[in-house]
């Protein structure tokens, strides 16, 4: 009976409600260009058309367009959903910090919510990244419950792929085959059940959503600078590619060094270096977390491993900054108050500068190579600062 009561604790009920609300109200999100294209052509997502997001990240956008057809009700629903996303991201982060460090929970929660990028990427220009982040935070909150972690990662991965990455540090962190098995089983079962309608209709098109990402090149990261690519993530993306399987697309569309969506690397070894650094950093940091008896230390280290995943990625877009900065908040809870605030403000400042580059005509008129390089280099310096601080603390 006591186990039953602990299972149905208030926090668990809260996050289950969040999951239900997000899956249900996901229909009230923003619609993008390809959603308009679908609406005009009556193509069915994941069957006739390959969206750039998993079903819970992109299909709801199209559904909203079908329901409201961009009427005044559509605009109101978008605003309400963005406000809901803003509230839930802040609330889940607050509960995570409250569980780990009660002294800073409220102040860090407020600081995170008042960051311009967080406000912009939730209220103004809400993306699937913010939705997926809620499930990642929920998994970190319930880190000692492998079943619930698997379910939350499974739901999150069908909003945006990166929550699946959290499985690697969790598998390393958990001791004993039982917990590892439960984590994988609950993740796979959740992902399969939610994907079943699309797998039954056209499994090849559904798989293409995942495999098409392997065709993409670098973007606005240190690897893209080294390879000589200074383009944005959406440039030259052909419209027709989404109506055929990804492997069919590769036979009719030649790769090039200037097209992010079908990229040909000038230095072919770079993507392997990126993946190697990602895996190495996640494994090492997660193994250190495995040896921690203090849950606070473990969650901070696992958050740092997720931060490392983004830091060593070949891909960067100011949109994912909300995820990266959130991981950084949790990873630096053992820093001094002012040191933590300084690094958070520094990352936010660089991201604002990075974003301005793409929305200011003067930069576009003179070319983005120089200012974009400055933003990427500054961010790389901040990455080095974070990891050096981590190494210094390990050496003490």
Q: Does position 294 have pLDDT exceeding 60, yes or no?
A: yes
How do the domains of the chain map onto residue ranges? 9-207+268-395
With cut-offs at 50, 70 and 90, classify the pLDDT of residue 396.
low
pLDDT at 166 over 70: yes
Q: Whole-model pTM above 0.75?
A: yes
Mean pLDDT of 87-102: 89
* Average pLDDT estimate for 88-114: 90
Q: Per residue in 133-143, pLDDT tens? A: 999 999 999 99
Give backbone dihedrals phi and psi of 70, rounded to 5 degrees, phi first: 55, 40
| Mean pLDDT of all residues in 88-113 | 90
- Alpha-helical (H) ranges within the chain are 2-7, 10-25, 33-41, 55-68, 72-100, 105-114, 116-119, 128-141, 146-157, 167-173, 177-201, 203-211, 222-227, 246-252, 270-290, 295-311, 321-331, 337-359, 361-366, 369-395
pLDDT value of position 140: 94
Residue found by looking up tokens 């919510």 in the block: 113
Query: DSSP letters along 44-79, please?
Result: PBTTTB--SS-HHHHHHHHHHHHHHTTSHHHHHHHH
Confidence label for 104 from pLDDT (cuts 50, 70 and 90)? confident
Average pLDDT over residues 295-313: 93
């Amino acid at each position: 009976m006591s186990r039953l009561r602990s299972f149905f604790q208030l926090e668990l009920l809260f996050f289950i409600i969040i999951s239900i609300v997000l899956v249900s109200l996901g229909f009230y999100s923003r619609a993008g260009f390809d959603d308009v294209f679908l609406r005009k052509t009556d193509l069915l997502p994941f069957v006739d058309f390959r969206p750039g997001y998993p079903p819970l990240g992109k299909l709801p956008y199209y559904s909203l367009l079908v329901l409201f057809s961009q009427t005044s009700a559509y605009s109101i629903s978008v605003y309400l959903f963005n406000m809901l996303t803003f509230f839930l991201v802040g609330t889940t982060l607050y509960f995570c910090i409250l569980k780990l460090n009660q002294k800073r929970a409220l102040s860090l929660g407020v600081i995170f919510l008042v960051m311009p990028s967080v406000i912009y990427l939730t209220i103004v220009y809400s993306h699937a990244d913010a939705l997926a982040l809620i499930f990642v935070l929920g998994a970190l909150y319930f880190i000692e419950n492998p079943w619930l972690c698997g379910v939350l990662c499974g739901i999150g991965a069908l909003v945006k792929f990166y929550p699946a990455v959290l499985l690697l540090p969790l598998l390393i962190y958990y001791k004993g085959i039982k917990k590892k098995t439960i984590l994988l089983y609950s993740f796979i079962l959740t992902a399969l059940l939610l994907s079943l309608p699309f797998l039954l209709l056209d499994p090849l098109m559904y798989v293409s959503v995942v495999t098409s990402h392997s065709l993409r090149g670098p973007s606005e990261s240190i690897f893209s600078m080294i390879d000589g690519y200074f383009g944005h993530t959406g440039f030259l993306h052909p419209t027709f590619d989404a109506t055929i399987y990804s492997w069919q697309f590769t036979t009719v569309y030649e790769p090039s060094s200037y097209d992010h969506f079908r990229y040909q690397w000038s230095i072919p070894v770079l993507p392997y270096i990126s993946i190697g650094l990602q895996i190495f950093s996640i494994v090492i940091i997660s193994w250190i977390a495995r040896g921690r008896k203090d849950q606070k230390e473990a969650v901070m280290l696992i958050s740092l491993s997720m931060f490392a995943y983004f830091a060593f990625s070949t891909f960067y877009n100011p949109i994912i900054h909300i995820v990266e900065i959130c991981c950084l908040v949790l990873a630096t809870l053992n820093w001094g108050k002012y040191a933590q605030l300084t690094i958070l403000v520094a990352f936010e400042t660089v991201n604002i500068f990075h974003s301005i580059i793409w929305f200011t005509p003067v930069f576009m008129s003179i070319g983005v190579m120089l200012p974009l390089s400055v933003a990427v280099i500054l961010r790389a310096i901040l990455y080095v600062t974070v990891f050096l601080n981590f190494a210094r603390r390990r050496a003490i």
